[in-house]
Amino acid sequence: MRLEVIDADKCVGCQCCMFACTRIHRDAGLAKSCISVKSAGGMQHGFLLTVCRACEDPPCARACPEDALVLRKGGGVLLKEERCAGCGACVKACILGAVFWDEDNNKPLICRHCGFCAEHCPYNVIGMDKKRTASGEKI
């Protein structure tokens, strides 16, 4: 099961997903969000959604010198915080920019594909794909 963008053209830019992600991290504000919605060069041109794609062979995990990012069942990674040295190699490795950074703890913020953001998207822009992995294979 992974989070997926169903239709970015329906996004109104309310950013409720970002605030939801923050709350599931037991915080308020936006510092702990691992999803991002930004205007694509002016709001009239729609929005860019940055969401972890739950890669099957995640570059972020391969880039980690401490093996702090372990493969998650269904795609993507889980952070073993105690192993993370805070080098930021994972951030650079993700060309989507879907590895976010926790400035307070100096560690990455990794999407857990919990679906809480999707529950707070009023327009079904994002949702949970229960059957597919990033490469499109059925599991």
**Nearest distance, CB of residue 106 and other proteins, angstroms:** 15
**Nearest distance, CB of residue 70 and other proteins, angstroms:** 27
Closest to other proteins by CB, 12 or 93: 12
User: Any contact of residue 114 with other proteins (CB under 8 A)?
Assistant: no
Is 87 within 8 Å of 77 (Cβ atoms)?
A: no
What distance, in Å, lies between the first and last C-alpha atoms of the chain?
9
User: Any contact of residue 82 with other proteins (CB under 8 A)?
Assistant: no
**Nearest distance, CB of residue 24 and other proteins, angstroms:** 9
82: CB partners within 8 A, 6+ apart: none
Nearest-angstrom CA–CA distance, 7 and 123: 9
**Nearest distance, CB of residue 114 and other proteins, angstroms:** 14
User: Any contact of residue 65 with other proteins (CB under 8 A)?
Assistant: no
65: CB partners within 8 A, 6+ apart: 85, 87, 89
Residue in the block written with tokens 């959604």? 49
Is 107 within 8 Å of 79 (Cβ atoms)?
A: yes
Answer for which of 83, 106, 122, 124 binds other proteins (CB under 8 A) is: 122
Binding-site string for other proteins from residue 4 to residue 33, where x marks contact by CB under 8 A and - marks none: --------xxxxx--x--xx--xxxxxxx-
Nearest-angstrom CA–CA distance, 139 and 133: 7
Q: Which residues bind other proteins (CB under 8 A)?
A: 12-16, 19, 22-23, 26-32, 39, 41-44, 46, 104, 120, 122-123
